[in-house]
């Protein structure tokens, strides 16, 4: 989404969030290793759908403020799903 954003501030926000997500993944991998749990499993169809929706916006040839405005709620939906997934993962820990 960062590459598709026209607004510089929005692009930077997406890039910052990507770095945060990469850090979260590293932490999850460390916790899984400590708990001797595998993180590999079936792909989450809900998240796949949200990401596909966001990718569809990027395929739109219009690179303008309207597309940026559509990217924001798409990214928010992904973020809310991510927060719910972390909450579920936390509840599953011993």
pLDDT per residue as tens digits for the range 32-46: 888 888 877 778 899
**37 torsion bin: left (phi>0), alpha (psi -120 to 50), beta (else):** beta
Mean pLDDT (whole number) for 15-40: 88
Mean pLDDT (whole number) for 21-30: 89
pLDDT per residue as tens digits for the range 51-84: 888 888 887 777 788 889 999 999 999 999 999 9
What contacts 69, CB < 8 A, 6 or more positions away? none
Q: For position 94, what pLDDT does the model report?
A: 67
Whether residue 4 is predicted with pLDDT greater than 90 in this model: the reply is no
Q: What is the C-alpha to C-alpha distance for residues 8 and 85, in angstroms, rounded to an integer?
A: 29
Domain ranges, ordered by start, for the chain: 8-92
CATH class assigned to 8-92:
mainly alpha
- Taking the mean position of all CA atoms in its chain, how far away is CA 29? 17
- Which of helix, strand or coil describes residue 64? coil
């Amino acid at each position: 989404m960062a590459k598709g954003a026209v607004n510089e501030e929005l692009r930077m926000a997406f890039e910052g969030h990507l770095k945060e997500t990469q850090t979260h993944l590293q932490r999850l991998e460390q916790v899984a290793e400590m708990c001797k749990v595998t993180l590999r499993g079936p792909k989450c169809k809900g998240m796949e759908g949200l990401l596909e929706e966001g990718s569809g916006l990027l395929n739109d040839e219009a690179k303008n403020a309207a597309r940026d405005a559509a990217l924001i709620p798409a990214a928010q939906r992904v973020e809310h799903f991510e927060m719910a997934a972390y909450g579920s993962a936390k509840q599953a820990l011993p």
